[in-house]
Amino acid sequence: MITPFYNFDKTIIEKAEKAEKICKEKFDELDVIRHYNSQKVLRAFSDNMISESHLLGTTGYGYGDRGRDSLDNVVSQCFGCEDALVRHNFVSGTHALSTALFGILRPGDTMLSITGQPYDTLLEVIGISGSGNGSLRDFGINYSQIDLLEDGSVDIEKVVNMCKGVKMVYLQRSRGYSLRDSLSIDKMKEIFEKVRGVNDSVCIVVDNCYGEFVEITEPTQIGADVIIGSLIKNPGGAIAETGGYIAGKRKYIELCAYRLTTVGTGKEVGASLGQNKSMYMGFFLSPNVVMEAVKTSVFASAFFELLGYDVFPKFSDHRTDIIQGIKLGNKEKLVAFCEGIQKGAPIDSFVVPEPWDMPGYSDPVIMAAGAFNMGASIELSADAPLRDPFAVWLQGGITYPTGRTGIMLAAQSMKEKNML
């Protein structure tokens, strides 16, 4: 469709329309997931008898905060697990992940990552980089890692050999800043069964960032003990203003709560202030918003493939996170792409993004984002570390029509610099 609002190049409009046509079947599949997960969430609200009073907050210690406690129940029902810790007090996904690792692991324990190196911001938390700063390693917690195989899959044989006796097996569901496939629920199930076969007391932890509600099942329903994520990604539905969650087995959630607040008080304290309503509403909207984001990614995949680029995953591939990787090939294209995405943001569309040394990341990163909640990557955003293979990772899009427009503006920006 041509509108009077943006002056797209003719070829961009043609390719976008073609891309949308070939995505039709995929979009229909996504609608089925949208319906399924939306009903799941609605049922949980209803079963937990959420009322207006749950939406109000507490102050001070936050004893007996009904809204906070029931939200934990709604989330654990939807994720098919015993308990959850859903808190605005988590400052980020990294904080929730760090809380879980410090909460569950003890000196002498081993954490075994089986999806290669964890997300960049966790390297210092674990003590893979830096020391003497209070990392897990400083506290005598061991770390080992099994790299992914050449084709991006988990080295199951090695996992089976190495997971005996370890306290924690750790996986990252999403692709992060790599071009590997994300781990599907089916794949995880197979891995969990093998791991349990040799170590039935192991704690299986999944970094679930970007994965929530992309499939109809969550990792906790197929054998994961603990899953962790951010509320300015999928499960916050673009409404939650900040926060994160940890969900899973009750005994682990209690340990995590002891780490977040204090040993003994755990989940009993923590004023929700005015945050309950936005967390409830965001979680309620999440299955819908996540599918808008996935549609945006699917469109971007088809569109950029038509423009001649390698894309990860392809538009027709099975998805288990909201991320789309596009290999652009050089720094200049990354910058032009991100400038275009920025132009498609509702907030700060006039800003020109530049690469910078972001805390916690090892290479300069360029990020395009103009979000209602600062840094929210359930809203259309693109990140590109300036390193080989010069790929951009994009995610989010709280409505498909605006997400699609942002993607087209990225192409337009490249076109205007004769880079397309």
Residues in contact with ligand PLP by CB under 6 A are 92-94, 97, 119, 121, 172, 174, 176, 207, 209-210, 230
Report the residue number, 58 or 174, with the smaller CB distance to ligand PLP: 174
Query: Residue 66 — left, alpha, or beta (φ > 0 → left; ψ -120 to 50 → alpha)?
Result: alpha
Cβ proximity to ligand PLP: between 50 and 214 the closer is 214
Min CB(15)–ligand PLP separation in Å: 29
Q: What is the DSSP letter of 7?
A: -
Cis peptide before 389 (omega within 30 of 0): yes
Hey, is 404 helix, strand or coil? helix
- Smallest gap, in angstroms, from Cβ of residue 117 to ligand PLP? 11
Asked if residue 54 lies in contact with residue 66, where contact means CB atoms within 8 angstroms, the answer is yes
Q: Show Cβ contacts of residue 304 under 8 Å, excluding neighbours closer than 6 positions.
A: 311, 326, 407, 411
Residue number, 62 or 244, with CB nearest to ligand PLP: 244
| Distance between CA atoms of residues 94 and 248, nearest Å | 17
Which residues, other chains included, contact 29 with Cβ-Cβ below 8 Å and sequence gap of 6+? Answer: none
Of 8 and 119, which has the nearer Cβ to ligand PLP? 119
Shortest approach of ligand PLP to residue 300 CB, angstroms? 17
Nearer to ligand PLP, 234 or 272 (CB): 234
Angle at 403 between CA 398 and CA 406, to 5 degrees: 140
State which residue, 19 or 191, has the beta carbon closest to ligand PLP.
Answer: 191
Find the distance separating the first CA and the last CA of the chain, reported in whole Å. 21
Q: CB within 8 A of 109, min separation 6: which ones?
A: 141, 142, 166, 167, 168
Neighbours of 130 (CB within 10 A): 14
Q: Which two tokens stand for residue 274?
A: 């005015």
Q: Which residue sits closest to ligand PLP, CB atoms considered?
A: 93
Q: How far is the CB of 119 from ligand PLP (least distance, A)?
A: 3
**Helix, strand, or coil here: 160?**
helix
Question: What is the closest distance, in whole angstroms, from the C-beta atom of residue 296 to ligand PLP in the complex?
Answer: 17
* Residue 169 Cβ vs ligand PLP, minimum distance, rounded to whole Å: 16
Bridge partner residues of 169 (DSSP): 112, 204
CB-based contact 398:378 (threshold 8 Å):
yes
Shortest reach from residue 43's CB to ligand PLP, in Å: 28
Q: How far is the CB of 122 from ligand PLP (least distance, A)?
A: 7
Cβ proximity to ligand PLP, 30 vs 97, nearer residue: 97
CB atoms within 10 A of CB 215: 19
CB closer to ligand PLP, 137 vs 233: 233
Q: Using CA atoms, how far apart are residues 18 and 120, in angstroms rounded to an integer?
A: 37
Question: Residue 79: which residues within 8 A CB-CB, separation 6 or more?
Answer: 218, 220, 221, 227, 247
Query: Shortest distance, CB of residue 125 to ligand PLP, whole angstroms?
Result: 10
CB of 251 to ligand PLP, least distance (A): 24
Computed from CA positions of residues 109, 112, 117, 122, in that sequence, does the dihedral angle turn out positive or negative? Answer: negative
Q: What are the residues facing 204 on neighbouring strands? A: 169
150 CB-near residues (< 8 Å, 6+ apart): none
CB of 419 to ligand PLP, least distance (A): 28
DSSP letter (8 states) at residue 115: S
- Looking at beta carbons only, is 152 or 329 nearer to ligand PLP? 152
The smaller minimum CB distance to ligand PLP, of residues 62 and 236, is found at 236
Residue placing its CB nearer to ligand PLP in the complex, 67 or 93: 93
Query: Which residues, at least 6 apart from 28, have a Cβ–Cβ distance to it below 8 Å?
Result: none
